[in-house]
Amino acid sequence: MISKQHIINRFIKYVTIDTESDPNNPAFPSTTKQWDLAKVLVDELKEIGMQDVDLDNNCYIMATLPSNLDYEVPTIGFVAHIDTSPDFTGKGVKPQIIENYDGKDIVLNKEQNIILSPSYFDDLLQYKGQTIITTDGTTLLGADDKAGITEIVSAMEYLIQHPEIKHGTIRICFTPDEEVGKGAHLFDVKKFGAKWAYTMDGSQIGELEYENFNAAGAKVTITGKIVHPGYAKGKMINSMLIANEFIASLPLNEVPEKTEGYEGFFHLHDMNGNVENTVLEYIIRDHDLELFKGRKQLIQQTAINLNKKYNQEIIKVEIKDQYFNMKEKITPVMHIVDIAEEVMKDLGITPLIKAIRGGTDGSQLSYKGLPCPNIFAGGHNFHGRFEYVPVESILKATEVIIGIAKKVSEK
C-alpha cells in the first residue's frame, strides 16, 4: 500500500513552492518561479529511478518509466501542470491538515473569520471521516494541479518499487502555464512518444472527462468622444454607456452563474473604461460547435447593429479561438476512456463521466495528435481561498494511474 503520510509530505512540499503564472507576460514560462518546482521535480524523478529525465528550455519536464514486459503494448502517458492560477494568490501557502473530518465547519482563519462550511460547500460531506488538506484562507491551495503531480510521481515511484506489477513504457510530462492557456502550446508530442495520455487535472473523485468547451476570447473596444459636459449636447459620445448597451444586448441568462452542464455562455470577465474609450473582455464557451460559431457571430452582429444605430464605427471586435472540444478526437479511440472507467470500477470508484465546463491541456494535446482524456485529481473549489483536497482522493487517483498501467499491459 502507498503510505498516506508519504503522499501528504510530497503534496505539502509541492504546494508550498509558489508557481503562479502570469496571463499578461508573453514569455515562456510566464513566471520564472515555475522553474523552482520544475527543478525540484527533476531531482525527485531521478531519485525515484525514472529514466530520460529532461527539463527543456521552456520548462517542460518529461521522463520515462521503461516497460518491464517481454512483449509490446502501446506507450501511454500521464500529464499534469506545475503552475497555479493567477486568479488568486499562490504565494505563502500554509496548508492545514484536518484529520478525521467530522462534517462540521472548518475554521480556516480565526482572525479573519474565514470558514469552510458544508452548509455552503456541501461536497465536503462526501469526505466525512477522511483527512482533508485546506488553505489558511489567505491563499489558494494549489491542488490544481499539484495533486495531479503528486499522483503521477507517487504512482511511478510505486511501480518502480514493485517490479512484479507488469506495465508497458510510460511517459510523463509536467507542463508550465496551463492556467493561462499556454500549457500545451510548446508541448512536443513527437518527443513525448505516447500513443495516448491522461491529464490528472480533474476535480472530485471519480471524474472522467473527454468532452470540453469550444472556447474563444473576445475583445470589444468602444471609442467615444470627450467634450466638456457643459457643451456636450449632440457632440459627446460616452463609450461607457454604449458598452452598457452592448452588454445588455447579449442574452442575460447565458452567463456562467446561470448555466450548467452542456449550456454555453458569454462571460464578461474584465471591463475598463472612461468616456472616450471602454474595453470589454469576454470569454465565449459552448460544447456544441455550431452553437459556438453562433455565439461568435452574435458578438460580431451586436457590434454591427450598434455601429448602424450610431451611424459610425465606434465598436470594434477581435475574437480569437482558444481551444476546441476534444470529443471529436477522443470518440474514434474511446477504448482509452473505457480503460480508465474499468479501472475506476475495479477500485470501487463510481465513474462520473461528464463534460468539462472549461478546458485542460488535454483538449489542445488531443488536437495536436495526442488523445488525452481527463481524470480526477481530487481537489475542490479551485482558484480560491476555500480550495481543499481529501488525501484519500489523491491516494485513489494514484491507484487509478497504477491500474491503467496494469490494464494496458493486459490488452
User: In the Cβ-directed half-sphere of 97, how many Cα atoms lie within 13 Å?
Assistant: 11
Give residue limits of the domains in the chain: 4-212+325-410, 214-323
Give the least confident one: 5-19, 226-240, 393-407. 226-240
| Per-residue confidence (pLDDT) for residue 56, from 0 to 100 | 97
| Per-residue confidence (pLDDT) for residue 160, from 0 to 100 | 98
pLDDT at 167 over 90: yes
225 in Cβ contact with 398 (< 8 Å): no
3-state per-residue secondary structure call for 42-61 = HHHHHHHCCEEEEECCCCCE
Catalytic annotation present for 87:
no
pLDDT at 12 over 80: yes
Percent of the chain past pLDDT 70, that is, above it, reads 100
Mean pLDDT of 148-169: 98
Which residue in the block uniquely carries the three cell numbers 450598434? 306
Percent of the chain past pLDDT 90, that is, above it, reads 93
Report pLDDT digits (tens) over 65-93: 999 999 999 999 999 999 999 989 999 99
Confidence label for 322 from pLDDT (cuts 50, 70 and 90): confident
pLDDT at 293 over 90: yes
Report pLDDT digits (tens) over 177-190: 999 988 999 999 99
Element of type H or E holding 40:
helix 34-48
The fold adopted by the segment(s) 4-212+325-410 is Aminopeptidase (3.40.630)
- Among 143, 150, 139, 144, smallest CA distance to 172 is for 150
Report pLDDT digits (tens) over 37-56: 999 999 999 999 999 999 99
Report pLDDT digits (tens) over 328-363: 999 999 999 999 999 999 999 999 998 888 777 888
Confidence label for 64 from pLDDT (cuts 50, 70 and 90): very high
| Per-residue confidence (pLDDT) for residue 1, from 0 to 100 | 75
Annotated catalytic residue within 18, 83, 157, 399: 83
| Per-residue confidence (pLDDT) for residue 102, from 0 to 100 | 96
Confidence label for 194 from pLDDT (cuts 50, 70 and 90): very high
pLDDT at 411 over 80: no
Q: Give the rounded distance of the alpha carbon of 361 from its chain centre.
A: 7
Mean pLDDT of 187-206: 96
Annotated catalytic residue within 144, 145, 157, 178: 178
- Among 273, 282, 287, smallest CA distance to 300 is for 282
Catalytic annotation present for 342:
no
Query: Mean pLDDT of all residues in the chain?
Result: 96
Mean pLDDT of 285-313: 96
Three-state DSSP at 216 gives strand
Indicate the class that CATH gives domain 214-323. Answer: alpha beta
**Residue 16 phi/psi, 5° resolution?**
-85, 5
| Per-residue confidence (pLDDT) for residue 359, from 0 to 100 | 75
Mean pLDDT of 1-15: 95
